[in-house]
Structure 1
Amino acid sequence: MQTATENSANALLEQVRDFVRFLDRDEIVRVLSAVRDEFVREMESARELADRERRLLTEAASEAEYGRLRGIHDELNALEMERFLRISSVANLHTNCTEYRDRLAGRALHLVEREMEEIGRGEPPRPYALCSMGSDGRAEQTLITDQDYLIVYGDGGGEASDGWFREFSELLVERMAEIGFKKCTGDIMPSNPTWRGSLAQWNRKLLAIVRYEYEDYAKNLMDLIVLSDARFVSGDRGLADALVGTIRSLEQDYFQVLWGMAKAATEMKLALGFLKRLWTEGSGEHKGEFNLKLLAWAPLVMNVRILAINQGIPATNTVERIALLQREGSFSPAFAQGLSDAYEILTRHRILLQIKVIKGIQDSSYYLNPYTLSPDEREAIRQALLRIEDLQRTIHTNFSIM
């Protein structure tokens, strides 16, 4: 049985054969020679990038200076940008960025634990886990990142344990910022007590949210949405699994909460205007542009998330969620492929915007001027938005939203 790699290689070879069958003998030799030379160059480049990445990750595993860890982080980001500009693979960039940031976060935990001992606070009084949320929780990291983390620790430590983890979390957030993880503007970080607690404390918080015991309904609904993408990063995996399991079960058990999330998802605006043309800002700083994140990418991620939760799918990655929703019958193969294509198109443009910001070409990584793109690219984005609109209609019907 052939592997996925062998299948991909055979498919690529078949495309070459389809092309050269229309050429004469000498042209075939010239074309195949050129293809061979280009493949060799690409293979050498891929190996060189992979070797550089391995060396940096090996260095990070034993590095004790936060400044050098920041340098390693920057080098890894630059390497990933170089790779993306060569092969334009969204999935590859997601995987690599998520992997090396997980390793850097794990290294930061170790160093901060050591700092706590050095200042006389001792070792962790209870086992604990660091979990990520947002794009990191979905294993969809890109070139620009911030801190979207929570901490859960074992029960039974009382106020002493709470105090230790408060100090630890505050120090961790500062050290993570030093190595290149920007502080979250929404304060979704373990230094905020909302995103830190023992397992029992987390269970009480979650029950209070789904039972509407907190006054700020909108904020708590948003917190639950964020928690829906929680993923283990480092520490005690059992604690992380227990917390994630509680989140998933409560979201399914309290349908009214999930219904509220679905309603919010279907009401997210899209960059579609009159006659389903692309909508852009009519005036102001971003005239002729639209917010690619808020009016295209985020509605797709959000609506896929809702269906995945409703169907009990444990995966957090958007493309994986789409594939599993197709497998269990929520999507037809064609609809699932359309959504996956939409995700790839929108995310690719988000990454290209980030590259422009990194290179100093523009200030915002959110706003896209579609008229700087080719007609085919503009139409691809419009088709992506139409698929998201269809997805919103599906959820609107499934949840009987009036």
Structure 2
Amino acid sequence: MAETGKAASDHQRIAESRMWHTLDPQTVDAMLAAGEEMRLEAGRFLFRAGNPYRKHIYIHLEGTLEQTAASGDHREAQPGDVIGLASYLDGDNYRSTAQALTDCRLLALAGATVQRLEQESPFFFEAINRALAARMRKARQVRETVRGTLARPVRQFMISGLPCCRRQDTIAQASRLLAERDVGSLGLLDDSGRLIGLITPMTLLLALASEQTVPSDALESVTADEALAVTPDTPLWQVEEIFRRHRVKDVAVVDSQEAPVGIMSETAMIQALSHPPQTLDSEIRDAPDVDTLVRLRRKIPIAAGAVHASHRSVGTAVRALTEMHLALQHRLVELILSAMDREGLGRPPARFAVIVMGSGGRGEMLLRPDQDNGLIIDDRVTEAGMEWFREFSERLNPGLDEIGYRLCPGNVMARNPEYRCTLGEWQAKLSRLVDNPGRKEARAANIVLDFATLYGDDTLTARLRGHLNRRLEDGSGKMLFRMMVSDDAKISQPLGFFNRLVTTPHKGSQVIDLKRTGLRIIVDAMRVFALREGISRCKTMERIAALRRLGVFDADFSESMRIAFEELQDLLFTHQLDQVERGETPDPLVRMERLSSHDKERLRVSLRACRRMRERLQYAFGVVMS
């Protein structure tokens, strides 16, 4: 009984520690079963700096153990802390000294066991890397130049949706699925839906080349690739380390039940790190005051136009444009926080996140976006703390307006108490939206549900997104989706008989509102389908790709939507650049007399694709389009 009680206590010590708190109970049990208990008397050394690595790591369980770094800094180990991790990772001599100040009890885990647990449990793997991250932030200052991207979580870059198969499926079925979904990897699941491997074209080719299998054989006869997996919260640099250490091209992303939710490919990593030219980057980051931000805001169209001219890719240009917009807004938040602190109001009294919604949340801002934003505040905030955030919001929205981001006509802004809430209040708000949507709320949902972190604690945003996805599971969002689609159903498309363009008179010109009658149809449709399928990404192009991979759209339909979105976005972006050169205020109303015959044909064909999208919505959600 005493041994049973001690084991339970050790399980609790590990499970509640900062290092291992994300582990599932089964992994903690596996650690305890695989490890060997060792005792260290007071005054004895576990190891000294310079001692050879003993091919073990040690988990502190009881007693007072002090570590002394090479710098001379002392640190007292807490229950659950890992001792000797750096030597495990690089196989080198110990770099610190560990000494028991009182009698101590530790769990020794062999390096081979740690490697096995890393492969079997993504949460164990993440815990090891999380501990490493804390040391790397101190020891490797070179990362400071790129930490902005590499420190961001995988969920912001992963490819949502991983097509999967099971061991009883055949090689031929897996081969067809790879081709139909146009993917490089399939997840291989066990009977409980947990990821146990990856199937690639090379996997199948090697199996068939061995002449020991035939296409009709089950996948259980194939040696699947190892499924190195991370969770959506894993920082990007850890995935980079996996690519480097294991020489793989794909890393699976799994949820808390080890079910696949996406994949992080080497290509996606390259795209994440290959930033387009941003000539205003350093100027924005170093801007000392609001006046400087106003001046820089006026330079954005010129910088964005230069990117467009050099890349001839609207996607690259819009990405650069969005990042400059968001960098300006981020810098304004920093200036407001500094000013409030100088004025004696102090620093933020609780964890919080400034979120951007709409085109900002999707990363699709053009030349004259207004502001759609809100605040997510930690639930433990006090009344006085909420008053602090009210004052912050009253400075934020007018400040954004001053530097060139118009106040939202629908009042979707942080200074509106409806959009300045604690996490719990936000979660309750979204639950009501799903359970009992009204027309007004459904209309706002087409803005609010595309949200991303601008500044602050991204985990709050991630928890809100996770809550929304859970509430929409099992068809719970049918009424909301139908009402969101109904809101767009009233939009009349600018296509007449024989698909001729139908224009509207405006200030002496014949115009078409590209945003309302074109881009919005595709953007809103992809949002509804993505929410229905549990896809967390907000960018329209990423939603199209994810829906294709999940089999919601076939290849032809997906390609037509992708091309239509790019063409409409390019036409609108080019139109707004032309307006800036003419000294006009950018708007979404494209003047027909300024379009070439080729551009008019691009517009007409793209709007036909939008019509197909409306037909698809009508079929999927039972809403009659006008």
Tell whether the structures are fold-level matches, with TM greater than 0.5: yes
Q: Which amino acid aligns with 1:391?
A: M
**Equivalent residue in structure 2 for 1:257, among 454, 468, 480:** 480
User: Is residue 2:374 matched to residue 1:150?
Assistant: yes
Q: Report the Cα distance in structure 2 between the residues aligned to 1:206 and 1:62, rounded to whole angstroms.
A: 37
In structure 2, the CA distance between the partners of 1:388 and 1:71, relative to structure 1 (3 Å rule), is same
Q: Report the Cα distance in structure 2 between the residues aligned to 1:287 and 1:69, rounded to whole angstroms.
A: 34
Q: Which amino acid aligns with 1:141?
A: M
Which one has the bigger strand percentage? 2
Report the counterpart of residue 448 of structure 2 in structure 1: 227
The one-character-per-residue Cα deviations of 1:16-51 (angstroms, maximum 9, x if unpaired) are: xxxxxxxxxxxxxxxxxxxxxxxxxxxxxxxxxx99
Report the counterpart of residue 93 of structure 1 in structure 2: 317
In structure 2, the CA distance between the partners of 1:53 and 1:170, relative to structure 1 (3 Å rule), is farther
SS in 2 for 1:130: strand
In structure 2, the CA distance between the partners of 1:55 and 1:311, relative to structure 1 (3 Å rule), is closer
How big is the shift at 1:155?
A: 0.9
The one-character-per-residue Cα deviations of 1:269-290 (angstroms, maximum 9, x if unpaired) are: 2111123211112x56365222
Report the counterpart of residue 118 of structure 1 in structure 2: 342
Structure 1 runs (4+) greater than 6 angstroms displaced: none
Q: Report the Cα distance in structure 2 between the residues aligned to 1:233 and 1:121, rounded to whole angstroms.
A: 22
SS in 1 for 2:369: coil
* Contact 1:273–1:279 (8 Å) recurs in 2: yes
SS in 2 for 1:184: coil
The one-character-per-residue Cα deviations of 1:261-316 (angstroms, maximum 9, x if unpaired) are: 123334432111123211112x5636522212111121121112111111221111
Q: Report the Cα distance in structure 2 between the residues aligned to 1:383 and 1:192, rounded to whole angstroms.
A: 41
User: Is residue 2:580 matched to residue 1:358?
Assistant: yes
Which segment drifts farther, 98-107 or 389-398? 98-107
How big is the shift at 1:239?
A: 0.6
* Contact 1:134–1:229 (8 Å) recurs in 2: yes
Q: Report the Cα distance in structure 2 between the residues aligned to 1:78 and 1:120, rounded to whole angstroms.
A: 39
TM-score (norm 2): 0.53
Q: Which amino acid aligns with 1:303?
A: A
Q: Which has the higher contact order (CA 8 A, sep 6+)?
A: 1
Which segment drifts farther, 348-357 or 85-94? 85-94
Report the counterpart of residue 427 of structure 2 in structure 1: 203
SS in 2 for 1:204: helix
**Equivalent residue in structure 2 for 1:69, among 272, 284, 293:** 293
In structure 2, the CA distance between the partners of 1:197 and 1:380, relative to structure 1 (3 Å rule), is same
Q: Report the Cα distance in structure 1 between the residues aligned to 2:552 and 2:445, rounded to whole angstroms.
A: 23
Report the counterpart of residue 468 of structure 2 in structure 1: 247
The one-character-per-residue Cα deviations of 1:89-114 (angstroms, maximum 9, x if unpaired) are: 21111211222233222222222112
How big is the shift at 1:168?
A: 0.4
SS in 2 for 1:91: helix
**Equivalent residue in structure 2 for 1:337, among 552, 555, 559:** 559
In structure 2, the CA distance between the partners of 1:145 and 1:364, relative to structure 1 (3 Å rule), is closer
How big is the shift at 1:69?
A: 2.2
User: Is residue 2:620 matched to residue 1:398?
Assistant: yes
Report the counterpart of residue 377 of structure 1 in structure 2: 599
TM-score (norm 1): 0.80
Q: Report the Cα distance in structure 1 between the residues aligned to 2:275 and 2:295, rounded to whole angstroms.
A: 17
Q: Report the Cα distance in structure 2 between the residues aligned to 1:289 and 1:179, rounded to whole angstroms.
A: 29
Which one has the bigger helix percentage? 1
* Contact 1:266–1:303 (8 Å) recurs in 2: no
User: Is residue 2:614 matched to residue 1:386?
Assistant: no
* Contact 1:227–1:247 (8 Å) recurs in 2: no
User: Is residue 2:574 matched to residue 1:323?
Assistant: no
Q: Report the Cα distance in structure 1 between the residues aligned to 2:285 and 2:520, rounded to whole angstroms.
A: 34
Q: After superposition, where does 1:165-314 map in structure 2 within 5 Å?
A: 165-212=389-436, 217-252=438-473, 253-281=476-504, 283=505, 285=507, 288-314=510-536
* Contact 2:276–2:316 (8 Å) recurs in 1: no
SS in 1 for 2:510: coil
SS in 2 for 1:233: strand
**Equivalent residue in structure 2 for 1:348, among 520, 545, 570:** 570
Report the counterpart of residue 355 of structure 2 in structure 1: 131
In structure 2, the CA distance between the partners of 1:372 and 1:284, relative to structure 1 (3 Å rule), is closer
Q: Which runs of 5+ in 2 are unaligned?
A: 1-273
The one-character-per-residue Cα deviations of 1:331-351 (angstroms, maximum 9, x if unpaired) are: 221221111111111111111
Q: Report the Cα distance in structure 1 between the residues aligned to 2:310 and 2:368, rounded to whole angstroms.
A: 19
In structure 2, the CA distance between the partners of 1:366 and 1:184, relative to structure 1 (3 Å rule), is same
Aligned pairs, number: 349
Q: Report the Cα distance in structure 1 between the residues aligned to 2:457 and 2:507, rounded to whole angstroms.
A: 47
* Contact 2:518–2:607 (8 Å) recurs in 1: yes
How big is the shift at 1:53?
A: 5.8
* Contact 2:367–2:576 (8 Å) recurs in 1: yes
Q: Report the Cα distance in structure 1 between the residues aligned to 2:483 and 2:511, rounded to whole angstroms.
A: 30
Determine which structure has more spread, i.e. the larger CA radius of gyration: 2
In structure 2, the CA distance between the partners of 1:347 and 1:236, relative to structure 1 (3 Å rule), is same
SS in 1 for 2:288: coil
In structure 2, the CA distance between the partners of 1:126 and 1:136, relative to structure 1 (3 Å rule), is same
User: Is residue 2:387 matched to residue 1:163?
Assistant: yes
RMSD of aligned alpha carbons:
2.4
Q: Report the Cα distance in structure 2 between the residues aligned to 1:306 and 1:254, rounded to whole angstroms.
A: 10
Report the counterpart of residue 35 of structure 1 in structure 2: none
Q: Which amino acid aligns with 2:534?
A: G
Q: Report the Cα distance in structure 2 between the residues aligned to 1:255 and 1:174, rounded to whole angstroms.
A: 37
In structure 2, the CA distance between the partners of 1:67 and 1:190, relative to structure 1 (3 Å rule), is same
* Contact 2:370–2:408 (8 Å) recurs in 1: yes
Q: Which amino acid aligns with 1:121?
A: L
Identity %: 26
